[in-house]
Chain A
């Protein structure tokens, strides 16, 4: 299973990281901007304050005329750059200064009001922002001293743009880094996931990659690998145990069978009684049944042990079911049953063809055994979501709901249908093969009859 990148925790982590960087850089540069701006205005304010104080002293000493002279002198002498002066009477009519008229409606409420003046410079008109302070003089006249702060403003604007640009670049860099980081992380994690899935699918020799970065992933891979080593070891031991059990049970059976075979082959020259010959032959049939039961048991045990599926390959289940229906159809007809198949080719799963064939064969043979003459057996292979669904249904006696879970257990002979020739392993082998293929097996009622449903993952 491959996760979409944006769903990975690494990606989410990266997004939060980017947001955090954004907040940090934004607040740092933002407060630097605000601080610088207030520094600029503080300086302006200090100058205005000092000048106001001087002019107030002048007024106190020599009245309106003295103050008027002083202002006219300051304006004409091109003193301080960008200085604005205005002295008005109580009706806000201009007495002196370098501004044409009072810029406010009455007295401004703020301590440091700001306004704009239009200036005519050679070639162009422009509006300059001014920061000012206003005093009401003891005689009711009003004095305004200000400074053209357009330079400071421009500087602040530049600073702001630089700040925003800086924030933008930082975020971009953080986002890129985060994306790259989460991509790499996701790739390493998906490497792990893929490898684990391959191992689950039976490639027991596969190991997680250790890239030599000595990081936490390498540490994890190393410990997972040692777990896998042990699992592989156990699987091998188990396999060897099964092999020797199979060998030790089959070898004596083989000797027994060979002895009986040799006797039968030489029966004319030994002049065996027909009765002896016949009972030897039926004993041979029993040996073969014993051997088949043993083989089935070993197969079930091997599947139940959690061993991986041997030699998985692409199997066209539709085609396989079709072949098996064709193979069994004449036998069914002889037994007075109708066996039909509904399938299309191209329904492919990864599995072992022989085992899947054995599974479907067991289901068909089971139905042949239990459905009375005149009945129907249907084998169908269909697409069911992503899965391939194999369904064998009949209209025979079925299995009561209470018995269905027990039916797949080894040697579970169900009370209602005791058959002397049944090994009692047919359905448990089906269940074991289904488990080996990680398929879902369910026994259902076919109303009437039994329906066995097997969902195989592709």
Chain B
């Protein structure tokens, strides 16, 4: 997996490059917008992570230019601007995800993983299956080993979100954004409470729990512990 990081803050960039390399990615670094765009058009990357404010060429301009050239590589925008409006503008310009600085490295990793998988997965499947857990989206029916599980509409959405990303770490922020469409951080431990309720419904009495907590990051739904 080949990632291009466009970031003018060399110190921050160095940490990100090291962290990503340690996590098993191949990472190239461009220090300004022009170089970044040049690299994108010359090489082939699986993902572009770009800062929003860059010398020579703004992050959003890079996205627009590469989209005009027909390059569909997913882009994750990192920004030190944090208002709701900036986020909307970032996504409107063609960015695939938006992360406000400062962020936890685990958050960045989870988002990168999600974007990488998105390009390959089947997004429109109406029947999801992980182990003996079965979710029929059309009938809105959940069964675990044949036993039917009653869930509220929101719990169903939460479960769908996790199952579509089975095996992949999902952060609390990603859940808030994806399931509740909330793009800010409430102070309460909301997500933990909701996950523990879902866990009660799905994993209670089961031999092999499916929902696991990843310390310092978030949650993952998968067969192996």
Contact = CB atoms under 8 A, between A and B. Distances in A.
Contacts of B71: none
A365 interface: yes
Interface string A344-379: 000000001111011001000100100000000000
Contacts of B183: 354
Contact of B12 (A243, A254, A353): A254
B187 interface: yes
B186 A291 contact: no
B38 interface: no
Interface of A is mostly: helix
Given A330-B194, A354-B184, A365-B187, A257 B81 contact: no
A368 B186 CA distance: 12
B131 interface: no
A267 B160 CA distance: 35
A265 B101 contact: no
B53 A247 contact: yes
A246 B186 contact: no
A98 B82 CA distance: 113
Contact of A255 (B9, B18, B88, B104): B9
B126 to A, nearest CB: 24
A328 interface: yes
A261 B185 CA distance: 19
A365 B188 CA distance: 7
B197 interface: yes
B15 interface: yes
B168 to A, nearest CB: 19
Most buried by A among B9, B102, B104: B102
A327 B180 contact: yes
B193 A331 contact: yes
A230 interface: no
B12 A258 contact: yes
Contacts of A357: 182, 184
B102 A257 contact: yes
Interface residues of A, number: 43
A253 B53 contact: no
Contacts of B193: 330-331, 334
B80 A310 contact: no
B190 interface: yes
Interface residues of B, number: 40
B154 A326 contact: yes
Contact of A250 (B80, B88, B106): B80
B16 interface: yes
B197 A330 contact: yes
Contacts of B15: 255, 258-259, 261-262
Most buried by B among A264, A323, A326, A354: A354
B80 A295 contact: no
A8 interface: no
A250 B51 CA distance: 13
Given A246-B80, A250-B82, A327 B190 contact: yes
B84 A365 contact: no
B188 A253 contact: no
Contact of A243 (B9, B16, B19, B81): B81
Given A246-B82, A250-B80, A310-B88, A331 B190 contact: yes
Interface in A277-305: 284, 287-288, 291-292, 295, 298-299, 302
B188 A328 contact: yes
Contacts of A255: 9, 11-12, 15
A256 interface: yes
A65 B103 CA distance: 137
A311 interface: yes
A46 B151 CA distance: 114
B224 interface: no
Given A265-B19, A357-B184, A328 B84 contact: no
B25 interface: no
A261 B16 CA distance: 10
A251 interface: yes
Interface in B67-126: 80-85, 88, 100-106
A243 B193 CA distance: 35
A256 B102 CA distance: 9
Nearest to A290: B102
A36 B171 CA distance: 100
Nearest to B197: A330
A294 B2 CA distance: 34
Contact of B83 (A254, A259, A298, A330): A298
Nearest to B196: A330
Contact of B101 (A253, A292, A334): A253
Interface in B19-73: 19, 22, 53
A262 B18 CA distance: 9
Contacts of B181: 353
Interface in A384-408: none
B105 A261 contact: yes
A177 to B, nearest CB: 50
A323 to B, nearest CB: 7
Interface of A: 243, 246-247, 250-251, 253-259, 261-262, 264-265, 284, 287-288, 291-292, 295, 298-299, 302, 310-311, 323, 326-328, 330-331, 334, 352-355, 357-358, 361, 365, 368
5 contacts: A246-B81, A258-B16, A261-B106, A287-B102, A365-B186
Given A247-B80, A255-B9, A354-B84, 15 more contacts: A250-B100, A250-B101, A251-B9, A254-B80, A258-B16, A259-B15, A262-B18, A292-B187, A295-B100, A298-B82, A327-B154, A327-B190, A328-B188, A361-B184, A368-B188
